Amino acid sequence: MSELWKVALSQCPNRHDGELRRKKKTGLGRFPMMNTFVLAACAFVAVMIAIFVYWRIASRADPDTARMKSIAILPFKSLTEANDDYLGAGMADTLIARLSRLRQINVRSTSAVIRYTSGQDALSFGREIGVDSVLEGTIQRSGDRVRVTVQLMSVRDQRAMWAQSFDEKFTDIFALQDSISERVAKSLLVRLSGDEHRQIKKHGTDDLEAYLAYMRGRYFWNKRNEAGLNKSVEYFEQAISLDPVYAQAYAGLSDAYNVLGSYKFGPLSPDESFRRAKASALRALELDDTLAEAHTSLASILHRSEGNRLEAEKEYKRAIELNPNYATVHHWYSDFLALTGRSEEALVEIQLARELDPLSPVISTTLAERFYFARQCDQAIDQLLKTLEIDSNFIQAHFILGLAYEQKGLYAEAIHELREAQRLGGDKPYIASSLAHACAVSGRRAEARAMLGHLIAMKSAAPFDIGLVFAGLAEKDNALMWFQKDYDRSKARTDSLTVFNDDPRLDLLRTDPRFQNLLPSL
């Protein structure tokens, strides 16, 4: 480094040996401020050269790890009994949660890696979800001992960068997780601030049994089906009973009730599910205000169930500040932005969510939905075909694909996809309504009218569903009458906002003053 300074400073005028000569040639002696300026400029150049060379040397010190800033932490393979599978998934989930708090690392979410199975090649999976590195491991429990073996692998070079085995008492699992988190951060050349160091060593509870119940809860919650969600509620409640101040368990319980209410699963009404979700989220935040999951769950309830946009956006932004790697918050915040008319921002957020969780069918479909509402139907169709490669039975992907095909004038394809959505999802009014609309605009009016009669007879059909069919039949007066009923029924609704404002199927009504009066003020 001393040689570097010599080279840099040699480019500057010599203040001692060349003073008279310099004054004669440049006249600088008559302008003392100019002397100061030139010397300051030379010093600045020297510092910049030094910083640049130091950076280049540092980045060459370990070229394999210097670039490895994105990581997927795969579910650990359990080498013990099958009913211990939650341990491997829970270990990965905990490490993901800890490392996601570091802004210098892009960590794939749990939902992104939960699809990994032990039979897959870890490096191929890493390439599929677009990361620089993968952490894989095994976990084996025997009595009061646990043995964990982990290795960090470079996806580009297809080789292990670091591997280590840990053999500890099972009661020391928290310290073991501390060690692995710190070792991963060090391997990725991440310099931890004091606060970040505290965050990745944050346990949430010191009660081992409460932690195991929480891990089981997250394991079942990630299944995202009705049975799994109900099971997760049992385990989160068990964790809370063992440790009444376990904030993460309350956040998990809020997540479970939130999804149950959104999907209309279980014996509880959506309103009751959302009420319990909100109570759990508020309790979690009372205990620990740094939980991004709890802020996200609360934000979703505030904007979907209560229509409180101002507070909802505050909660979404707080969650993103706390954990920018949490795909769900970007996804739900995108929904919020779309529902409030901020379509460009909504597109940015859903693209961030997809980058964090590229294999999520719901996130991929939501991205396609954003394209559809922006009249970019070619991009929507392309995205949806990719989604169906991930999950060929994903109902919403077939549904939005049908809408996009309709806008392209591909009516046979549109009707086929909507019928497929109906086959997979049952006789849902919103699907039946869109199918009838597609039949109407394609000239199959008799079929559309028959479906319309069925919709009117359905108690669960919303006035909007019926109005949409009349719009497809080009019966504007009837369509507007039913849309007015929908508006009067729920002026605080959220799910219809984007449809009223952006859905191309309603374009023939947009110039009518009666329709414009129905548009919500965003």
What residue type is 11 in one-letter code? Q
Q: Domain 66-203 is of which CATH architecture?
A: 3-Layer(aba) Sandwich (3.40)
What confidence tens digit (pLDDT) does each residue in 410-439 have?
A: 999 999 999 999 999 888 899 999 999 999
**What pLDDT sits at residue 392?**
93
* Cα–Cα distance measured from residue 256 to residue 230, given in angstroms and rounded to the nearest whole number: 8
Q: Which two tokens stand for residue 314?
A: 């505050």
Per-residue model confidence (pLDDT) at position 83: 59
DSSP 501: H
Domain residue ranges of the chain, discontinuous segments joined by +:
2-61, 66-203
Q: In residues, how long is the chain?
A: 522
Burial of 44 per CB tally in 10 Å (0-12, 13-18, 19+): exposed
pLDDT tens-place string over residues 455-471: 999 887 888 899 999 99
- Spatial separation of the C-alpha atoms in residues 101 and 199, rounded to whole Å: 7
Report residues of the chain scoring pLDDT below 70. 1-68, 81-85, 111, 118, 189-203, 490-499, 519-522
The count of C-alpha atoms lying within 13 angstroms of the C-alpha of 511, restricted to the half-sphere facing its C-beta, is: 1
**Amino acid occupying residue 51:** I
* pLDDT for residue 13: 45
Q: What is the pLDDT of residue 365?
A: 94
Name the DSSP letter for residue 238.
H
Strands 145-154 vs 77-78: parallel, antiparallel or unpaired: unpaired
> What is the rounded CA–CA span in Å between residue 321 and residue 344?
20
Contact 458, 446 (CB under 8 A): no
Compute how many other C-beta atoms are within 10 angstroms of the C-beta atom of residue 165: 11
Q: What is the pTM of this model?
A: 0.72
- Report pLDDT for 332: 93
List C-alpha distances in Å: 46 to 7, 8, 37, 38, 349: 9, 5, 14, 12, 42
What is the predicted pLDDT for the residue at 488? 75
CA–CA dist 178, 185 (Å, integer): 11
CA angle 289, 269, 254 (to 5 degrees): 15
- Give CA separation, 8 vs 5, 28, 57, 58, 404, in Å: 5, 21, 17, 20, 62
Beta-strand relationship, 70-73 and 159-169: unpaired
* Contacts (Cβ under 8 Å, ≥6 apart) of 303: 309, 312, 313, 336, 339, 494
Residue 166 to residues 98, 147, 149, 180, 356, Cα–Cα distance (Å): 19, 6, 6, 9, 29
Q: Tokens 């039946």 correspond to what residue?
A: 432
Q: How far apart are CA 321 and CA 295, in angstroms?
A: 11
